């Protein structure tokens, strides 16, 4: 059970919103990833149910420029999946009639002056136990008990943020509690199976090709390679008569052959860590109210779809899917397909000798080739690769919008916990004498630096890491 104070905080935010339904216009501001879109979707659905007037703005990050564009009067601002880390940016003008629903580590400055629902303030770990969408769900549930069916979207958000850190990729903590509520409300089912996108409906080679979490180098996004792998190595019948078989139709024996061949591949050609290879079997979260054969049926695939929409600038589309506008469904599927192909292309490019390992850092410079909004997805994928084991992973990509280089950093597998990546990156940026935005949490962080400073950044990062000493593995 979540701490009672957390529930009380969600209640007071719900009451605050309810009191203003007839007098104010609500402005939701949320992050563009799957969790941010799911969180905005949850709040939108709760507000729509109340007949409230509201607008949604989806942003890459909360910046001064974003804040300047927000309405100043007769409005209630609702920040979801962001805000807690930018309290000092939200000056006096934004304190009144503002609600923050987030799970990133809160800035201490002015903590008391904001209405803020954040797991970190109640002794929970916002990295692994609770997502932005989960926090939004707690508020929605207090607004109206009917909103319990939004538990499914909360789970999509948590998986989008890769919070499936429990045994066999299960959700833990508050997220697990939300899964139980979703099962009870009849919107979710949890099963243990191969984590393939479309296990119930897609032809097996397509299910393998579409699987992006985990991303399997050489197979994800490559249909011909998937067919070849299944025919030559797994050797199970892919068709029954004229009809393609699905993962859920395989016998236990066939499934275990598939798993063992796949694990061998992932450890060998795929270059993945053992933990990640094993994670091909685990907890699958099914949105049972969604139509069979659609990407919204599987919570991980739903999250991938939302990420694809968000990171290719189709935020309105992602939001529409969240709130249930299925007429945009075809378009969203197309966006996800293009995104999948792009990711596969980037991973191939990295495999073609564009990855560098120097000291304790595994890095690449995507320049203008890698889309700056996707560089974080690429570094996340690399965090499961054995090449980057024990290293800090850094990706660079040039952002036209910011006229600067976007830096995305992740911790590789088996790096000791003493490294707080957010702090580390902030320190590097300040040692370089830059006055650029940098932030993030323990495991993921980002920054912007001027073009041409990439190598210097890696050097400074290595120096900082060597001072942390034993925390990072130094060989290689
Ligand atoms: Mn989030």
* Distance (Å) from CA 467 to ligand 1 centroid: 30
The answer to whether residue 349 is domain-embedded is no
* Distance (Å) from CA 362 to ligand 1 centroid: 25
* Distance (Å) from CA 163 to ligand 1 centroid: 9
Beta strands in 340-437 (DSSP E): 356-358, 361-365, 392-399, 404-411
Q: Is the pLDDT of residue 88 over 80?
A: yes
The answer to whether residue 347 is domain-embedded is no
Q: Which contacts of 454-459 are long-range, i.e. CB under 8 A and separated by 24 or more positions?
A: 454/365, 454/396, 454/405, 456/432, 457/394, 457/396, 457/407, 457/428, 457/432, 458/358, 458/361, 458/363, 458/394
CB 407 within 8 A of CB 31: no
Give the whole-number percent of the chain exceeding pLDDT 90: 69
Same domain, 410 and 316: no
The CA distance from 297 to 287, in Å, is 5
The answer to whether residue 221 is domain-embedded is yes
* Distance (Å) from CA 250 to ligand 1 centroid: 35
**CATH code for the domain of 419:** 3.10.310.30
Same domain, 14 and 159: yes
* Distance (Å) from CA 39 to ligand 1 centroid: 8
Mean pLDDT of the 330-338 span: 93
Q: Is the pLDDT of residue 291 over 60?
A: yes
Q: Is the pLDDT of residue 474 over 70?
A: no
* Distance (Å) from CA 287 to ligand 1 centroid: 20
pLDDT tens-digit readout, 350-386: 988 999 999 999 999 999 999 998 999 999 888 877 7
* Distance (Å) from CA 353 to ligand 1 centroid: 32
Highest mean pLDDT pick, 63-72, 210-219, 230-239: 230-239
**DSSP letter at 19?**
H
Residue 470 has a pLDDT of 57
* Distance (Å) from CA 134 to ligand 1 centroid: 9
Same domain, 204 and 324: yes
* Distance (Å) from CA 26 to ligand 1 centroid: 21
The answer to whether residue 91 is domain-embedded is yes
* Distance (Å) from CA 239 to ligand 1 centroid: 40
CA distances from 228 to 165, 238, 240, 418 (A): 32, 12, 18, 43
First and final C-alpha spacing in the chain = 45
The answer to whether residue 200 is domain-embedded is yes
* Distance (Å) from CA 118 to ligand 1 centroid: 11
* Distance (Å) from CA 270 to ligand 1 centroid: 28
Same domain, 289 and 390: no
- Looking from the CA of 138 toward its CB, the CA atoms found within 13 Å total 30
The CA distance from 34 to 299, in Å, is 11
Enumerate residues 6+ apart whose C-beta is below 8 A from 116: 9, 83, 84, 99, 100, 101, 102, 106
Give the number of domains in the chain: 3
* Distance (Å) from CA 131 to ligand 1 centroid: 5
Token pair for 33: 């990833």
* Distance (Å) from CA 299 to ligand 1 centroid: 15
The answer to whether residue 348 is domain-embedded is no
Q: Is the pLDDT of residue 342 over 60?
A: yes
Q: Where a domain ends, among 316, 342, 368?
A: 342
The CA distance from 72 to 269, in Å, is 55
Q: pLDDT class for 475, splitting at 50, 70, 90?
A: very low
Q: Where a domain ends, among 293, 317, 342?
A: 342
Mean pLDDT of the chain: 91
Q: pLDDT class for 64, splitting at 50, 70, 90?
A: confident
Same domain, 153 and 206: no
* Distance (Å) from CA 88 to ligand 1 centroid: 20
The answer to whether residue 350 is domain-embedded is no
Same domain, 336 and 377: no
Same domain, 249 and 387: no
* Distance (Å) from CA 178 to ligand 1 centroid: 16
Same domain, 265 and 196: yes
Give SS3 for 466: helix
Residue 325 has a pLDDT of 81
* Distance (Å) from CA 36 to ligand 1 centroid: 6
Mean pLDDT of the 237-243 span: 94
* Distance (Å) from CA 434 to ligand 1 centroid: 27
pLDDT tens-digit readout, 146-160: 999 999 999 999 999
Enumerate residues 6+ apart whose C-beta is below 8 A from 438: 407, 425, 426, 428, 429, 445, 446, 447, 448
The CA distance from 140 to 163, in Å, is 21
The answer to whether residue 170 is domain-embedded is yes
Q: Where a domain ends, among 131, 161, 184?
A: 184
Residue 154 has a pLDDT of 98
**CATH code for the domain of 73:** 3.90.1640.30
* Distance (Å) from CA 9 to ligand 1 centroid: 19
The CA distance from 118 to 262, in Å, is 39
Same domain, 170 and 21: yes
User: Who wins on pLDDT, 397 or 200?
Assistant: 397
Q: 24: part of which helix (H) or strand (E)? A: none
Same domain, 20 and 163: yes
* Distance (Å) from CA 255 to ligand 1 centroid: 33
The CA distance from 335 to 35, in Å, is 18
Neighbouring CB atoms inside 10 A of 446's CB total 23
The CA distance from 94 to 106, in Å, is 16
Which of 137, 85, 135 lies closest to 111, judged by CA? Answer: 85
Which of 373, 366, 420, 422 lies closest to 395, judged by CA? Answer: 366
> Which range of residues forms the domain containing residue 316?
192-342
* Distance (Å) from CA 35 to ligand 1 centroid: 5
Same domain, 374 and 335: no
Q: pLDDT class for 441, splitting at 50, 70, 90?
A: low
Same domain, 220 and 336: yes
Window from 128-142, 222-236, 269-283, 333-347 with minimum mean pLDDT: 269-283
* Distance (Å) from CA 294 to ligand 1 centroid: 24
């Amino acid at each position: 059970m979540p701490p009672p104070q957390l529930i009380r905080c969600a209640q007071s935010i719900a009451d605050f919103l309810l009191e203003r339904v007839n007098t104010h216009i609500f402005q939701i501001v949320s992050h563009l990833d799957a969790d941010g879109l799911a969180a905005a979707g949850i709040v939108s659905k709760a507000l729509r149910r109340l007949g409230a007037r509201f607008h949604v703005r989806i942003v890459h990050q909360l910046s001064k420029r974003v804040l300047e564009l927000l309405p100043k009067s007769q409005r209630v601002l609702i920040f979801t999946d962001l805000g807690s880390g930018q309290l000092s940016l939200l000056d006096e003008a934004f304190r009144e009639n503002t609600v923050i629903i987030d799970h990133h580590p809160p800035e201490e400055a002015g903590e008391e002056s904001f209405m803020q629902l954040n797991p970190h303030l109640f002794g929970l770990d916002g990295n692994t136990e609770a997502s932005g969408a989960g926090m939004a769900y707690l508020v929605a549930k207090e607004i109206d008990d009917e909103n319990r069916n939004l538990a499914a979207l909360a789970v999509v958000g948590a998986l989008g943020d890769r919070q499936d850190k429990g045994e066999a990729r299960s959700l833990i903590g508050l997220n697990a509690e939300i899964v139980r509520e979703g099962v009870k409300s009849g919107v979710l089912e949890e099963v243990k199976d191969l984590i393939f996108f479309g296990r119930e409906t897609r032809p097996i080679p397509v299910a393998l090709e579409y699987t992006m979490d985990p991303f399997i180098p050489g197979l994800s996004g490559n249909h011909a390679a998937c067919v070849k792998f299944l025919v030559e190595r797994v050797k199970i019948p892919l068709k029954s008569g004229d009809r393609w078989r699905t993962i859920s139709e395989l016998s236990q024996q066939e499934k275990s052959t598939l798993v063992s061949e796949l694990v061998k591949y992932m450890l060998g050609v795929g270059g993945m860590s053992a933990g990640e290879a094993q994670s091909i079997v685990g907890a699958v979260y099914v949105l049972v109210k969604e139509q069979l054969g659609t990407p919204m049926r599987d919570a991980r695939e739903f999250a991938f779809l939302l990420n694809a929409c968000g990171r290719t600038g189709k935020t309105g589309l992602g939001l529409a899917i969240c709130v249930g506008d299925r007429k945009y469904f075809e378009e969203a599927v197309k966006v996800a397909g293009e995104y999948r192909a792009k990711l596969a292309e980037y991973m191939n490019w990295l495999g073609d000798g564009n990855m560098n390992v120097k000291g304790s850092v595994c890095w690449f410079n995507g320049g203008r080739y890698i889309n700056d909004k996707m560089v974080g997805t690429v570094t996340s994928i690399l965090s499961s690769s054995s090449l980057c084991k024990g290293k800090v992973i850094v990706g660079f990509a040039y952002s036209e919008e910011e006229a600067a280089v976007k830096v995305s950093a992740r911790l590789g597998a088996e790096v000791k916990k003493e490294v707080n990546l957010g702090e580390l990156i902030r320190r590097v940026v300040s040692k370089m004498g830059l006055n650029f935005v940098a932030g993030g949490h323990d495991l993921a962080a980002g920054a912007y630096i001027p073009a041409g400073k990439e190598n210097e950044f890696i050097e400074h990062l290595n120096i900082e890491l060597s001072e942390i000493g034993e925390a990072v593995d130094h060989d290689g």
